[in-house]
Amino acid sequence: MSSTLGVLFRISTWGESHGAGIGVVIDGCPPRVALRAEEINAELRRRRPGQSGLTTARKEDDCVEILSGVSEDGETLGTPIALLVRNTDARSSAYDEMQHTYRPSHADYTYDAKYGIRAWAGGGRASARETIGRVAAGAVAKAVLRVLCPQMDVLAWVEQVGDVRCEVSADRVTHEMVESNEVRTADDSTAARMRESIMSARNKGDSLGGTVRCVVRHVPAGLGDPVFDKLEATLAHAMLSIPACKGFEVGSGFGCSLLNGSAHNDAFYMEGDRVRTRTNNSGGIQGGITNGEDILLRLAFKPTATIMMEQETVTDAKQAATLCGKGRHDPCVLPRAVPIVEAMAWLVLVDHVLRQKALEH
Amino acid sequence: MSSTLGVLFRISTWGESHGAGIGVVIDGCPPRVALRAEEINAELRRRRPGQSGLTTARKEDDCVEILSGVSEDGETLGTPIALLVRNTDARSSAYDEMQHTYRPSHADYTYDAKYGIRAWAGGGRASARETIGRVAAGAVAKAVLRVLCPQMDVLAWVEQVGDVRCEVSADRVTHEMVESNEVRTADDSTAARMRESIMSARNKGDSLGGTVRCVVRHVPAGLGDPVFDKLEATLAHAMLSIPACKGFEVGSGFGCSLLNGSAHNDAFYMEGDRVRTRTNNSGGIQGGITNGEDILLRLAFKPTATIMMEQETVTDAKQAATLCGKGRHDPCVLPRAVPIVEAMAWLVLVDHVLRQKALEH
Amino acid sequence: MSSTLGVLFRISTWGESHGAGIGVVIDGCPPRVALRAEEINAELRRRRPGQSGLTTARKEDDCVEILSGVSEDGETLGTPIALLVRNTDARSSAYDEMQHTYRPSHADYTYDAKYGIRAWAGGGRASARETIGRVAAGAVAKAVLRVLCPQMDVLAWVEQVGDVRCEVSADRVTHEMVESNEVRTADDSTAARMRESIMSARNKGDSLGGTVRCVVRHVPAGLGDPVFDKLEATLAHAMLSIPACKGFEVGSGFGCSLLNGSAHNDAFYMEGDRVRTRTNNSGGIQGGITNGEDILLRLAFKPTATIMMEQETVTDAKQAATLCGKGRHDPCVLPRAVPIVEAMAWLVLVDHVLRQKALEH
Amino acid sequence: MSSTLGVLFRISTWGESHGAGIGVVIDGCPPRVALRAEEINAELRRRRPGQSGLTTARKEDDCVEILSGVSEDGETLGTPIALLVRNTDARSSAYDEMQHTYRPSHADYTYDAKYGIRAWAGGGRASARETIGRVAAGAVAKAVLRVLCPQMDVLAWVEQVGDVRCEVSADRVTHEMVESNEVRTADDSTAARMRESIMSARNKGDSLGGTVRCVVRHVPAGLGDPVFDKLEATLAHAMLSIPACKGFEVGSGFGCSLLNGSAHNDAFYMEGDRVRTRTNNSGGIQGGITNGEDILLRLAFKPTATIMMEQETVTDAKQAATLCGKGRHDPCVLPRAVPIVEAMAWLVLVDHVLRQKALEH
C-alpha cells in the first residue's frame, strides 16, 4: 500500500514539505513499552536539516508531539501512536520557478504524470522531509525491540562518497565512531576526505552520491517469511522506498557473481550449542530467514537531483526550458541517510519479530 | 504476507519440491482476458528443468492445469484462477543424508530454526521448483497487460556468469536473441564462453553465480505508489524474493555513487508532445513513479549452494559433519532465472497498472 | 488490521478520549477532488457532543485541521490526507473511580485483559470520541463519490428508540426531514415521543438503545468483491466496528426466515433499458454485488453502558465492588450514531467504487 | 480482498461449481500441528450435498487432497497448505435456460453487471459449492486451535426454519444433539417439525429460510483488535460473506433496543480469580474484545433463490421472460449452513489468536 508499511507493526506516514507538518501513525505497536518523546527526538536530530555545514540550511527543530497511544506515564497503550512534527521554516518563494518547470531527475514531472496535480513548493511529498515519519516510527520500533530482543542492534554508516571510500571492517564499526564525525563514516581520516569532496561539490553548485552500509547484530535465527516476505525482500522494499536509493545488496551482493559456490558457501560449525557460519556471504539470511549471523546490507544513493547549475528541461506546458536550482538542499544526502536506513531496518525487523511470535508455540 | 504478493492482482503460491505439486491462485485478475494453458506452458518450458545440458537433469513436463477462473471459451471470469503443476520425477533418496545434515548456504538450517520442522526432500518449499507458481502467474499477468498496455514488454537476459560478461547495449537486445542460446545471454560468442564456464564448474562439482539484466519497454508514465510502494521498491521486493537473488539495481544503481549530480541527472526534452529524457540514469523511475522511459534493472544471483564437493557443516543434532551434495542441481541458476525475473516484473507491473486505473478519473 | 480500514481508500484512525486529540490518515484518495475543511466540519457538527439536550454536555468544537494531502487551492493531491481534531474539554477527574473499577458492559475490563494497560480517563480509545476519525474520513469519501458517482447518496435515520418506532417508508425519508429533529428520526411526532423516552431515561440515570436504518440510493450495479469482500460483508464489518453496534441486517434481514422463496425472490423486469426488481428483499445486493436498487441496511445499537445508577462490578485488583457512573454521557447514542453510520457507508462504498474502476476495461 | 480472508491465518479460496474443482490455500498456518485428511473430510461430509433427503441430490464425494504444507508424518510445515476437492457430478444441461435468463434473487445478473462474463453452469463461483474451501480451511483452523486453545469449541445449530423455532437454551446444546438429526437443530421434536416444513416446501417447488445460532465456548479474554477489527466486526464480515446470509447479531442483537442500560448491562463478579459476568447480553465481547464469556451469535439465511416455480424475470438480452428453476437445489440451506458457520467462526478465531500471540510479551 502506498504510504503504509508493515503487516503487524504498520506505519502510515503523511505530510508535504511546505504543508502544516509531517507525521506518522503506528498501528499494532505492542503495549507496555516505555516510550518518551526524547527517544524519538534524539533520532530526529540525527536526520534534521542544518545539523552541520554539510546539509541544507533549512532550520527546523523537528521536535515530535506524541498525540496518542502512549500513557501519561510514558508507556505504549497498544493503541495507534500518532506522531506529529510541525514544519516551521518553509520558504516557498525559492520554488516559484519550479512551479511550472520540472527539475531533472526529481519527482516533479512524474507526480504531475501520475496525479495531474502536485504540491510544487519544497518538493511536496517527494521531499526528504517525508522521511521524518520514517525516523520517528523507527525510534518506536527500536524501543519495542529493546524489550523483545534486547541484544539486537542496527548500525549504519557512510561507506563511500563519490570516489572516497571507507575501508573499515564492518565488525569494528561502532555507533560512537559513526556519530563522532558529521559525514557519519567509520574513520576520521576518511571523514575528512569525504567532507572535502562534499564541500567541493557544494561550491560548484553540484552534488554527490555514495553508499551506506548497514549491519544488524544479535539477530535471532528464524526471522523472515518465505516465499515473498523473505527478510531480504522486505528489507529491499523498505530501503528502495527511501528517496534517492538506487541499489541494494545483502551479504556478498553483486560480488557473489565472481565466486564459485565452493568459495561462496558459508560453512557451518558449532560454537558451543550455537550453529555458526565460518564466513558470512549470506549476510545473515538463508532462504529468506535469518541464521543468527549479522545481517549485512549495502545501499546506493544517487547524487541530489536539485543542483545550482543550469540544466536542460521542460515545463508543464511542454515547452523546452532551462532551470538553475534554488532553495536549500543537501549537496550529498549520505550523512542524513544513515539514520533513515537504520529506521527502515528497525521497522522491518520489529514487524518480522512480531510475525514470528505469532507462529511460535 | 508470506506466500501472497500484490495488492489488487494478488498471487498466492504453494508447493514443496517433492510434494504432490506446485501451484498458484491468482485473485483479482480482470475479467474477459483471453487465456490459454499453452501461453502458461510456453513460459514454464523456459523455466523447466532438463531443458538443456546446463540445467538439472530432473525430468518434469511442467504442464499446467487451469482449475478455475477461466471460461470454457478461454476467457478469464474475474474470479480466482487456480493453476496446478504436478510433480512427477521426485527422487527423495538422493536427499537421505540431507535429512539431518544441513547444506551450507541453503535454507535447511534456517527452516528448522524458524518452523522446527522442514520438508527435507528436494529442499521442500525452498526448492527452485517453488518458482513455477511465479512463472505461471507471470504468464497470466502478461496476458492481462497485453490487453491493458499492449505495447509494454519485459525482457531479461544473462549479463554475467562468473567473470564472463555480455556487453551488448540494452537497447539492442531482443527476445529472439536471448532465446536463441541456452544460457539466455545477448550474443552468441558470449553465450559460448558462458556455457564453457558453466560446464567447467559442473565438471568440478562446483557452481557459478552471475547477473541478470531486465528492461521494461513502453511503460506508461505514472505507475508506482509513493512513498512505500514506489515502483522500484515493489520491484526490489519481488526480485529479492527470488531464490538466490543477492542484489538489485535500478538505473545507474551502485554506479550512481561515482557521478556528480550534473552528470547523473537526466535532462528533459520534448519529443513531439512526449516528455523524454536525454539519458536514463533514473532507470525509468523518478520519485518512485515511471516517467515513460525504459525501466532498467540489474539483479545478482549467487552460485548454487548445493555442490558436489565435500564441505564442513553440522547436523540437526548439532554435531559437526561433512557433506557432499547429491541429487540433480543446476550448476548455475542464471539461464533459468531469466523467465523468473520476467515473471516477477510482469506481476509487479500489472498490479501497479490496476492500482493506477483505480486512481484515474 | 486493527485501526486501518479499506483496500484502496484506506483510513487509519488514532486518538484517545482524553489525549491530545483524535485524527485520521486517509491513504489512497484520488487526486483533484475539491475538499474544504468546512465540508468535514459540517459532518463533525452532526456527531459533536453538546449539540442538543439529548447528548453529553462535553463541550468540544470539533473543528478539523487538514494537515496534509490537500493543495492550497483546496484540491486533493493524491497523497495521504491527515486530519486532526484537538480535544479541549476533557475532564478526567470524573473518571477517578473508574481508574480501578470496571464499568459493566464497557471496554474497561477487556482492554486490561488484552493490553495489560489502558487509558482509563474518558474511556481512552474505547470512547465514542474515536468516531471523529470515521466521520471526518467519511466526509472525504463523500466528496470523492460526489465526483465519481454524482447521484449516489447515503441517508440514515433513527428507526427505533426503546419501544418507540418510526414507521415511515424508506422511500419517503429525506435528509431535511432527518436533520429537522434532534433525534434524527423520520417524522416529527415520533421524534417527540423518542425525545420523551430519552429524557425520561436520563432523568433516571438510565440509558436506551435502538435501531438505525440506512439507505444508499443511486448505486451503480457491479459493486462488491465476492467471495469474502461481498458488499454486505464489508458493510457489516464496518458497521459492527461502530461502538455499541450489536446487529446488522441487509434487505429482508432476519425477516427473511418467515418468507418462502417464492415470496422472497425479487422478480426482475425491464424499466426502459435498465434491469429493475419488483421488490427489494435483496436490499440492493445479490451474490455480494449491487444490482442497482437501493442498498437497505438496519443496525442495532445497545443502551449506553455508562449509567448513573449503582451497579455490581469488580476492580482491577479483582475485588467485588459497586460503581455509579460519573462523567458526561449520552443517555442514548442513536441520534449521534446517524452520521457515523452514514460515514461508514460512504467509506465502504468509495473503496468498492475504486476497486471496481481497477477491474473495468 | 476478494477471495482472501485473514491477516495472519489467511485463506484464499477458488473454484466454480461446474469447473475442475474447488480449493483453498492456507497461508500462515503455524508449523507442527497434526493434520490428517480425514479431519477435513469429516467436516466436508457435514457440508456435502446428498447427505440426507433434505438436500440437493447432486452426488459428490467431496474428498480432499492435501497438495502441500503437510509433512509425510501428517504435521503442518508452516508453509502454505493447498487443499483440492474435485467436482465429479456436474450436470450443466440443467442450466441451459439459465445461460441467458437470470434467476431472480440469484447472482446471475450481478455477476454479468460486474464482470461482463459469468460461468453460468451451476451458478459458477456463486454456487454453494464455493463453501467447500471455507469448510476445509475451517477444519485446519480448528486443528490449530486444538493445540493453541485446547478448550475452545465452536457449536452452531439451526434455530429456526420458516416459522418453526427451537427454544432450547444455548447452554444445553451439544454437538451430539445437533448431529443426531438431519436438520441440525437442538431437539428432536423441533427437528421433525422442521423436516416436515422443508419437505412441504420442496414438494411445492418452493424454499424456506431460517436462522442459525452459534456459540463459542472457552474463549480466552483479550481477543479482538479495535477499532476496525473488533472481534464482532470480523465475525460479521465472515458470516455475511456466506451465501444467503442476510443478518447478524452478537449477544442481545436487535433485542438490545428494548432494554434499558440498567437491564442490559452485564454485571461483573469474581468466580475464584476469574472475572465473570452475571448475564451475557454482550455475547462475550465488550469494546470489540472477548471477556472470556461465551461468544453468542445469530445469523439469518434467506430462502434458496432457485425454486421450481415459474417466476418473472429478464434475459441477458434485456428481454422480459419467465423462468422455472431446474437442476438440483436445497429447498432450505439451513442444515448445511451449520458447518459453514462453524468453519467461519474457527477461521476468524484462529486469526485473532495468532494476532494476540504477536502482541503479548
Task: Assign C154 to helix, strand or coil.
Answer: strand
Question: What are the E-state strand segments in C228-304?
Answer: 245-250, 268-271, 274-277, 285-286, 289-290, 295-301
Beta strands in B162-242 (DSSP E): 164-165, 210-217
Instruction: Please report, for chain B, the start and end positions of each structural domain, with discontinuous segments joined by +.
Output: 4-359
- Chain B residue with the nearest C-alpha to that of A231: B241
Residue B295 CA: distances (Å) to CA of B219, B239, C248: 8, 14, 49
Out of B66, B78, B118, the one facing D77 most closely (by C-beta) is B118
DSSP-based three-state secondary structure for D302? coil
Dihedral pair phi/psi, residue C328, rounded to 5°: -110, 120
Long-range contacts of A56-61 (CB under 8 A, 24+ apart): A56/A328, A56/A329, A56/A330, A57/A328, A58/A89, A58/A91, A58/A328, A59/A88, A59/A89, A60/A87, A60/A88, A60/A89, A61/A88
- Closest residue of D to C223, CA-based? D114
SS3 sequence, chain A? CCCEECCCCEEEEEECCCCCEEEEEEECCCCCCECCHHHHHHHHHHHCCCCCCCCCCCCCCCCCEECCCECCCCEECCCCEEEEEECCCCCHHHHCHHHCECCCCCCHHHHHHHHCCCCCHHHHHHCHHHHHHHHHHHHHHHHHHHHHCCCCEEEEEEEEECCEECCCCHHHCCHHHHHCCCCCECCHHHHHHHHHHHHHHHHCCCCECEEEEEEEECCCCCCCECCCECHHHHHHHHHHCCCCEEEEEECCHHHHHHCEHHHHCCCEEEECCEEEECCCCCCCEECCEECCCCEEEEEEECCCCCCCCEEEEEECCCCEEEEECCCCCCCECHHHHHHHHHHHHHHHHHHHHHHHHHHCC
pLDDT of amino acid A327: 73
Please indicate whether, in this complex, the C-beta atoms of D67 and B1 are within 8 angstroms of each other.
no
Residue in chain A closest to D148 (alpha carbons) equals A361
Q: CA A112, CA A103: separation in Å to the nearest integer?
A: 12
D23: chain B residues, CB-CB within 8 Å: 25, 67-68, 82
Interface test with D, best of B1, B4, B14, B71 (most D CBs within 10 A): B14
Residue among A292, A278, A276, A269 at smallest CA distance from B319: A269
What does the pLDDT average to over C106-111?
Answer: 96
Give the model's pLDDT for residue D1.
62
From residue C293, alpha-carbon distances to B290, C167, C271, C272, D99 in Å are 40, 21, 12, 15, 23
Average pLDDT over residues B352-361: 97
Q: Running DSSP on this structure, what letter comes out for residue C173?
A: -
CB-based contacts of A347: which residues, under 8 Å, 6+ apart? A5, A6, A9, A11, A134, A137, A138, A141, A238
Among C288, C191, C190, CA closest to C237: C288
For residue A66, which phi and psi values (nearest 5 degrees)? Answer: -85, 110
Contacts of B169 (CB under 8 A, 6+ apart): none
Chain C residues with CB under 8 Å of D283 CB are 246
The alpha carbon of residue B273 is apart from the nearest alpha carbon of chain D, in Å, by 36
A→C contacts (Cβ < 8 Å), by residue, are: 1-4, 10, 12-16, 19-23, 25, 27-28, 31-32, 65-69, 71, 75-82, 84, 114-119, 124-125
Rounded CA gap, D296 and D293, in Å? 9
Question: What ipTM does this complex have?
Answer: 0.97
Average model confidence (pLDDT) across chain B: 95
Angle ∠(D250,D252,D255) on CA atoms, nearest 5: 125
| pLDDT of the residue at B61 | 86
CB–CB of D106 and C287 under 8 A?
yes
CB contacts, 8 Å: A358 with chain D:
8, 354-355, 357-358
The mean pLDDT of B295-316, rounded to a whole number, is 96
Sign of CA dihedral C351, C354, C356, C359: negative
Look up residue D305 and give its three cell numbers: 433463490
DSSP category for residue D15: E
Note whether A361 contacts D147, CB cutoff 8 Å: yes
Q: How far apart are the CA of C271 and the nearest CA of chain A, in angstroms?
A: 39
CA distance C142 to chain A (A): 20
Q: How far apart are CA C352 and CA D1, in angstroms?
A: 11
Q: For C97, which DSSP code? A: G
- Chain B residue with CA closest to D31: the answer is B115
Q: What is the pLDDT of residue A196?
A: 97
Q: Say if pTM beats, i.e. exceeds, 0.95.
A: yes
What single-letter DSSP state applies at residue B92?
Answer: G
Q: Verify whether the Cβ–Cβ distance A357 to D355 is below 8 Å.
A: no
pLDDT digits (tens, 9 = 90+) for A83-129: 999 998 877 777 788 889 999 999 999 999 999 999 988 789 999 99
Q: With CB atoms and an 8 Å threshold, state whether D115 touches B66.
A: no
Distance in angstroms (rounded) separating the CA atoms of residues B44 and B343 = 10
Provide the grid cell at C341. Answer: 453510520
Contacts of A232 in chain B (CB under 8 A): 240, 245-246
Instruction: Give the pairing of strands A164-165 and A210-217.
Output: unpaired
Report chain C residues touching chain B, CB-CB < 8 A: 7-8, 28, 30-32, 78-79, 147-148, 226, 354-355, 357-361
CA B163 to CA B193: how far, in whole Å? 10
With a cut of 90, say whether residue D330 has pLDDT above it.
Answer: no
Mutation for testing the C interface, residue in A68, A73, A84, A355 having most C CBs under 10 Å: A68
Chain C residues touching chain A at CB-CB below 8 Å: 1-4, 10, 12-16, 19-23, 25, 27-28, 31-32, 65-69, 71, 75, 77-82, 84, 114-119, 124-125
Angstrom distance (rounded) from CA D284 to CA D36: 32
B32·D116 Cβ contact <8 A: yes
Is the pLDDT at C201 greater than 90? The verdict is yes
- Do strands A21-27 and A81-86 pair parallel, antiparallel, or not at all (unpaired)? antiparallel
Task: Give the span between the Cα atoms of C242 and A352, in whole angstroms.
Answer: 30
- The whole-number pLDDT of residue D264 equals 97
Query: DSSP class of residue D331?
Result: S
Does pLDDT of C342 surpass 90?
yes
A-interface mutation test, from B164, B268, B278, B347, most A Cβ less than 10 A away? B268
The pLDDT tens digits of the residues spanning B138-147 come to 999 999 999 9
| Nearest residue, CB atoms, A358 vs list D147, D354, D361 | D354
Closest listed residue to residue B83, CA positions, set D29, D19, D141, D132 = D19
pLDDT of residue B290: 98
Asked if A360 lies within 8 A of D361 by C-beta distance, the reply is: no
By C-alpha distance, the chain B residue nearest A220 is B113
Nearest alpha carbon to residue D8 among B125, B115, A223, A357:
A357
Specify the pLDDT at position D327.
73
Q: Cβ of D61: how many Cβ atoms within 10 Å?
A: 14
Write the single-letter amino acid at A26: I
Average pLDDT of span C290-318: 97
Nearest CA-CA partner of C247 in A213, D246, A21? D246
Residue C139: per-residue pLDDT: 98
Contact C303, D256 (CB under 8 A): yes
The long-range contacts involving D194-200, CB below 8 angstroms and separated by at least 24 positions, are D194/D158, D194/D161, D194/D162, D194/D164, D194/D166, D195/D54, D197/D161, D197/D162, D197/D163, D197/D164, D198/D54, D198/D161, D198/D331, D198/D332, D199/D53, D199/D54, D199/D331
Cβ atoms of residues A246 and B138 within 8 Å: no
Disruptive mutation site among D67, D86, D112 for chain B (greatest number of B CBs within 10 Å)? D67
pLDDT in tens, B13-67: 999 998 999 999 999 999 999 999 999 999 999 998 888 888 777 788 889 999 9
Confidence at A306, pLDDT banded by 50, 70, 90? very high
Residue B1 reports pLDDT greater than 90: no
Arithmetic mean of pLDDT over chain C: 95
Which residue of C lies nearest to A21 if distances are taken between CA atoms?
A: C67
> Strand A295-301 vs strand A245-250: parallel, antiparallel, or unpaired?
antiparallel
| Chain B residues touching residue C360 (CB < 8 angstroms) | 30, 357
What pLDDT does residue A326 have?
79
- Cα dihedral value D164, D169, D174, D177, nearest 10: -30
> Are residues D1 and B27, on separate chains, in Cβ contact within 8 Å?
yes
Compute how many other C-beta atoms are within 10 angstroms of the C-beta atom of residue B149.
Answer: 16
Residues of chain D with C-beta less than 8 angstroms from the C-beta of C268:
102, 104, 109, 312-314
C-alpha–C-alpha distance, residues C321 and C132, integer Å? 33
Please name the member of C7, C222, C251 whose beta carbon is closest to the beta carbon of D1: C7
Using CB atoms within 10 A of its CB, is residue B278 exposed (0-12), middle (13-18) or buried (19+)?
A: exposed
Percent of chain B with pLDDT over 90: 88
C272 by DSSP, 3-state: which? coil
Q: Which CATH architecture has domain B4-359?
A: 4-Layer Sandwich (3.60)
pLDDT at A1: 62
pLDDT at D291 over 90: yes
- Give the confidence band of A328 by pLDDT, cuts at 50, 70, 90: confident
Residues of A in contact with D8 (CB under 8 A): 7-8, 355, 358
Nearest-by-CA chain B residue for C351: B358
* Shortest CA gap B27–chain D (Å): 7
Query: Does the beta-carbon distance from A77 to C124 stay under 8 Å?
Result: yes
Chain B residues within 8 Å of chain D (Cβ atoms)? 1-4, 10, 12-16, 19-23, 25, 27-28, 31-32, 65-69, 71, 75, 77-82, 84, 114-119, 124-125
CA distances (Å), D148 to each of A247, D175, D354, in order? Answer: 42, 21, 9
Are residues D3 and B69, on separate chains, in Cβ contact within 8 Å?
Answer: no
Assess contact for B47 and B131: CB atoms under 8 A.
yes
Other beta carbons within 10 angstroms of residue D281's beta carbon come to 21
Q: Please list every residue in chain B whose beta carbon sits closer than 8 Å to the beta carbon of residue D119.
A: 71, 77, 79
